[in-house]
Structure 1
Amino acid sequence: MGRKRAPENAALPKGMIFNKKSNTYYLRLHGQRDIPLGKTMTEAFRNFYNYADINFECHTMHDLIDRYMKEISVTKSEATHKSNLSAVKHLFKRFGHMNPTMIRAKHAYQYLDLRAREGAPVRANREFALLSTIMSHAVRWGMITETPFHGIIRNPEKPRDKLVTNEEIAIFLKFCPRWLQLYIALKLATGLRQTDLV
């Protein structure tokens, strides 16, 4: 039986470690030197999933999330992939040790309630959406027979109750750098989403 993972590595994918001495994340492959992945967790996750030879069997949610991030998330837009990288840190921590066949609707509700108590109810909804998508892929990959998340009621989200006026935009533009002024002018002229504009 292998050694228990250090606390700083417990929420990381298999093969990724954090070296506190160098303040760097590494990929540890059997029989090879550790490969540096980056100083920040976001950079480390992005580099970790770029290694095509990482292919773990999915016995736990940790493995399933790994596979989704390596095979599916990297094909999404950069903004979506970056959002996924942020979300999976929480999913690893709460679901990583579980078997995908044991996940039930009650676990989703417990997660949504827990994250709401932590002060992130809306973020919890986004994280749950990713988890639901991952479980749908688990069905597709033959790991489970059906997704357990039908009809889940998410945390309430308060819609915006005020639109920004032209006068407020004019005042804001006076304090913006030139590139942001041009961006806002283009946004107002086209009405395109941020991802389309970028």
Structure 2
Amino acid sequence: MGRKRERASGFGLLPRMEARPHASSDKVTYRYHPIGAKPINLGQDKRAAIQKVLDLNGASNDAGTIEELWRTYQTMPQWKRLGERTKEDYAKYSVPLLAVMGKVSARLVRPADIARYLRVERADAPVRANREVALLSNLMTVAVERGDIDVNPCKQVKRNLERLRTEAPEPESFAAFIAWLTAQGSQRQVIALMAEFAAMAGSRRIEFLHLTLPQIDSIAGEIRTTRAKQHGGSTRVESISITPKMEDLVRRLRALPRPDTCLHVFTTRDGNPYTDTGFASTWQRSMAKALEEKVITRRFTFRDLRAYYTTQHKAQYGELPELHADVKTTARVYDRSRVSERKGLS
């Protein structure tokens, strides 16, 4: 028996488009049949499917523009391989980028235009501009691969100079901040424990924000987390040894109040794990209050605690921790040692 004929879903489609109603639901999948090639799945959104066909045939009124490249990039395999945090960041970077260059054809973008974007259009945010141009470079690569342009103009322009942070909190200052934060209430106590964990384990916030109790194995003497930045498609697990000093931290983490069915270590008042935005907001308010009350004399970021860990690890063990595949990256980004030690000849 052939497919049930249903004509309404096919109204308004472009030539060589096909509407395929689902037999068991009211959903419809759209396909495009290019000449001499296999059908292309266009998804279930009719308007988006029509736009894709227009883009494929160069008939869209914005075909080849930066806006169209951004839409196309989000449907490609390289986008799907990105982490969720990176996708969120790219979405943020796209807003100012498209506001300035969205309607411009990729064929018309010159290296001089990109240099102007970096130095003039975004002169008030030079580091953020570098990230936005990195996204633009990805979009230009899409244009190169499909034959719209021959050369990626972003690769011919130097980025704005970025100055790496050179300081980490001193142990005395950090201890004073943690003691003050712990006394501010139950939720600030959770934030204090998260800061202690970052300073003692060296993990990125995203790597332990949703840490669960089973990941803390006191019998084996280790805490297992998943490295946030993965390369080559493989998943890398990090094993953090529980030192005698960390045993006390682990004890306090287990003692935090949480619902009986909750396995997350760091939770909000209602028993849910912290979101990245919620944590960042609480951290910023706490830091501003600590400065106002003169608990600390200088602001430090949560990311500085990873540098704190690196610097203290080097001081205690005489070597840098394994935070990156290349130890030079760890040294350049996170080692904030103020004194370089070396032995003289005997």
Q: TM-score, normalised by structure 2?
A: 0.39
CA contact (8 A) 2:73 2:79 kept: yes
In structure 2, the residue matched to 1:191 is 202
The answer as to 2:128 corresponding to 1:123 is yes
- Matches of 1:187 and 1:175 in 2, distance apart? 15
1:68-87 residue pairs with structure 2 within 5 A?
A: 68-71=73-76, 72-73=78-79, 75-87=81-93
- Matches of 1:95 and 1:135 in 2, distance apart? 12
Is there any run of 5+ residues in structure 1 with no aligned partner, and where? Answer: 1-29, 32-50
Question: Deviations 1:57-103 (Å, cap 9, x if unpaired)?
Answer: 13311111121134354542222111111111111111111111121
In structure 2, the residue matched to 1:5 is none
The answer as to 2:151 corresponding to 1:141 is no
Shift of 1:122: 0.9
- Matches of 2:95 and 2:44 in 1, distance apart? 21
Amino acid at match of 1:105: P
Closer/same/farther in 2, CA of residues 193 and 52 from structure 1, 3 Å limit:
farther
- Matches of 1:89 and 1:192 in 2, distance apart? 30
- Matches of 1:115 and 1:73 in 2, distance apart? 27
Amino acid at match of 1:134: L
The answer as to 2:100 corresponding to 1:100 is no
Corresponding residue SS for 2:113 = helix
Q: Tell me which stretches of 4 or more aligned residues in structure 1 moved more than 6 Å.
A: none
- Matches of 1:142 and 1:52 in 2, distance apart? 28
Question: Deviations 1:3-54 (Å, cap 9, x if unpaired)?
Answer: xxxxxxxxxxxxxxxxxxxxxxxxxxx89xxxxxxxxxxxxxxxxxxx8642
In structure 2, the residue matched to 1:172 is 177
- Matches of 1:192 and 1:141 in 2, distance apart? 40
Rg (Cα) greater in structure: 2
Corresponding residue SS for 1:62 = helix
Amino acid at match of 2:88: K
Shift of 1:181: 1.9
Shift of 1:150: 2.3
CA contact (8 A) 1:62 1:96 kept: yes
The alignment-based identity, stated in percent, is: 26
- Matches of 1:96 and 1:79 in 2, distance apart? 23
Is there any run of 5+ residues in structure 2 with no aligned partner, and where? Answer: 1-11, 14-42, 56-62, 183-187, 210-346
More helix by share: 1
Amino acid at match of 1:60: T
CA root-mean-square deviation: 2.4
Amino acid at match of 1:69: Q
Q: TM-score, normalised by structure 1?
A: 0.65
